[in-house]
Amino acid sequence: MARVLITGASGFIGSNLARACLQRGDEVSAVVRPRSSTDRLAGIGSRVALYRFDLADARALGNCLAKTRPEIVFHVGARTRFENRPDLQDLADSVEENVSPLIALLSALTACECPPRAFVRTGTIAEYGDCAAPFAETVRERPTGSYAASLLAGTHYLEMAQPRLPFLAVTARLALTYGPGQSESFLIPRAISQLLAGQTISVRSPSDRRDLIHVDDVTRALLMLGDNPEKAGPVVNVGTGYAPTVAEVMQALIKLTGAGAGLVKFSDQTGDPVELIVSAERIRDRLGWSPKIQLQDGLERTVKWTRENIIPKFAAEMQA
């Protein structure tokens, strides 16, 4: 049991992590932005100490840390989408949204009378960008967008600052995480909902390959990293090392949803297929972690959850 603080706890990964921490008996405190919905924390809200503020609010952050005295901090909050702007405003926005909050949090934790023993931050497979797959932690990253560049900057800031921090810090670079409750702005939940509703879905790059990891495997890895930061090192990939094509994933979803094959429209691939695959050897060798949920099982769980939770709501809205 540990005192745990989770930023971004109202999000997809953060809310699942909060549940995983509670399940093992941790005392959980959660930081969410003032206007964030806490729908994903339904059912556990009474067991979580909830704090609403922006990490840029130094006074609120200091008060929160003084009250919670976390032993493990999971920094999961990040903005994932930035539209390219001709004036490059997306670059400035990504720094403000993703880099500055990280630095503010590190500064506040360093100033605590009783700093945590571990700090685990979620990074992304997108940090590798235009590199040859599978991506290993030792390669020189080449990000291709503001989101990826801002998270990579955070990764390097954290590693640079480690000698000055009174706690061990790890960046967990996550493969493409999926599972029940994920926003439909992502391909898998959107495809499942549309197929179950009998709607057509277009797939533009069917030959692209994606390393897909179930959120339960991600939360298990994050907990292990929080408990054993000294074994992980500054950066560690969390993924499966297996990457089916988008077409293969869609074919699996057609079968699991019982949808007609004609609902999925595959476009001709334009350009070379993009492969997003991580090497997961480091986390396996150093911590003994490996994914337990195979893709077929994970997709089946996600379809079942969507059928039971999203489709009835959609039907009710249509009848209203």
Tell me: the pLDDT tens digits for 132-182? Answer: 999 999 999 999 999 999 999 999 999 999 999 999 999 999 999 999 999
Please indicate, yes or no, whether residues 234 and 310 belong to a single structural domain of this protein. no
Q: Does residue 201 belong to any structural domain of this protein?
A: yes
Which pair of tokens denotes residue 92? 């400035």
d(CA 29, CA 31): 7
Confirm whether 302 is domain-assigned: yes
Same domain, 217 and 304: no
Residue 201 and residue 232 in one domain: no
253 and 304 part of one domain: yes
pLDDT tens across 92-104, in order? 999 999 999 999 9
Write down the pTM of the prediction: 0.95
What CATH number is attached to the domain comprising 220? Answer: 3.40.50.720
Q: Coil, helix or strand for 50?
A: strand
Same domain assignment for residues 145 and 202: no
**56 and 134 housed in the same domain:** yes
Residue at 69 is within a domain? yes
Mean pLDDT for the chain?
A: 94
State the Cα angle at 236 between 230 and 237, rounded to 5°.
Answer: 155
Which residue stretches of 36-186 are H helix? Answer: 58-68, 89-94, 100-110, 146-161
Q: Are strands 118-124 and 176-178 parallel, antiparallel or unpaired?
A: unpaired
Looking at residue 109, its pLDDT comes to: 98
- State the burial class of residue 164 (Cβ atoms within 10 Å of its Cβ: 0-12, 13-18, 19+): exposed
Total domains present in the chain: 2
Identify the band that residue 317 occupies on the pLDDT scale cut at 50, 70 and 90: low
SS3 assignment, position 240: coil
60 with 75, same domain: the answer is: yes
pLDDT score, position 316: 55
Mark whether 258 and 224 lie in a shared domain.
no
**48 within domain boundaries:** yes
In a domain, 10, yes or no: yes
Mean pLDDT of 81-110: 96
Q: Domain range for residue 85? A: 3-178+212-238
Whether residue 113 lies inside any domain: the answer is yes
The mean per-residue pLDDT over the stretch 212-233 comes to 97
Whether residues 249 and 273 share a domain: the answer is yes
DSSP string, 103-141: HHHHHHHHT-SS--SEEEEEEEGGGTBSSPSSBPTTSPP
Q: Are residues 151 and 222 part of one domain?
A: yes
* 103 shares its domain with 218: yes
Burial class (CB in 10 A: 0-12, 13-18, 19+), 237: buried
165 lies in a domain? yes
Q: Are residues 256 and 147 in the same domain?
A: no
Is the preceding omega at residue 134 within 30 degrees of 0, hence cis?
A: yes
pLDDT at residue 45, as a whole number: 85
Contact indicator for 113, 67 with CB cutoff of 8 Å:
no
283 part of a folded domain: no
User: Which pLDDT score, from 0 to 100, does residue 313 have?
Assistant: 64
Q: Burial of 36 by CB count in 10 Å (0-12 exposed, 13-18 middle, 19+ buried)?
A: middle
